Amino acid sequence: MLVGVFDSGKGGQIVAERLQKFFPQHEFLVVNDRENLPYGDKTTAEILRLTDAAIQPLLTQTKIIIIACNTVTAVAIDDLRAKYPDHKFIGFEPAIKPAVSDSKVEKIMVLATPATLRSNKYQNLKQRVASGVTVIEPDCSTWASKIENGQFSNQDLEPIVALANEEQVDEIVLGCTHYLDVEQELRNTLPPTVKIVEPVAAVARRLEAVINELKQDSSASLSAVSTAQAGSE
DSSP state of 182: G
Q: What proportions of the chain, in percent to the nearest 5, are helix, strand and coil?
A: 55, 15, 30
Tell me the Cα Rg of the chain.
19
Q: Which of 44, 144, 136 is nearest to 96 (CA)?
A: 136
Q: Clarify whether 176 is annotated catalytic.
A: yes
For CA atoms 194, 200, 203, 208, give the dihedral sign.
negative
Candidate list 75, 100, 176, 204, residue with the active-site label? 176
DSSP state of 38: -
Q: Which of 71, 146, 156, 145 is nearest to 114 (CA)?
A: 71
Q: Clarify whether 140 is annotated catalytic.
A: no
Maximum CA pair distance of the chain? 77
Candidate list 16, 37, 50, 69, residue with the active-site label? 69
Distance CA 39, CA 36 (A): 7
Report, as residue numbers or ranges, the catalytic residues: 69, 176
